[in-house]
Amino acid sequence: MSSNARHVPVMLQRCLDMLAPALTEPGAVVVDCTLGAGGHSEALLKTFPEARLVALDRDPTALELAGERLKPYGERATLVRAVYHELPEVLERLGIPKVQGVLFDLGVSSMQLDEAGRGFAYAQDAPLDMRMDQTTGISAAEVLNTYAPGDLVRILRAYGEEKQARRIVEAVVRERAAEPFSNSARLVDVIREALPQAAKRHGGNPAKRTFQALRIEVNAELASVEAAIPAAVAALAVGGRIAVLSYQSLEDRIVKQVFAAGATSTAPPGLPVVPERYQPRLKLLTRGAELPTEEEVAENRRAAPARLRGAERIREDIR
Angle formed by the axes of helices 165-178 and 149-160, nearest 10° = 140
Stated as kind and residue range, the H or E segment containing 103 is: strand 99-105
Query: What is the greatest pairwise CA distance in the chain?
Result: 70
Q: Which residues are registered as beta bridge partners of 202? A: none
Say how far residue 245 (Cα) sits from the centre of its chain.
7
What number of residues does the chain have? 319
Residue closest to 57 by CA, chosen among 111, 9, 114, 94:
111
Residue closest to 129 by CA, chosen among 162, 137, 153:
137
Q: Which residue numbers belong to the known binding site for S-adenosyl-L-methionine?
A: 38-40, 57, 84, 105, 112
Q: Which residue numbers belong to the known binding site?
A: 38-40, 57, 84, 105, 112
**Strand boundaries in the chain, DSSP class E:** 29-32, 52-57, 77-81, 99-105, 236-246, 282-284, 307-313
Q: Would you tell me how many other CB atoms lie within 10 Å of the CB of residue 72? A: 11
Phi and psi, residue 203, nearest 5°: 85, 20
Q: Which residues are registered as beta bridge partners of 57? A: 81
Checking DSSP bridges between strand 307-313 and strand 236-246, what pairing results, if any?
A: antiparallel
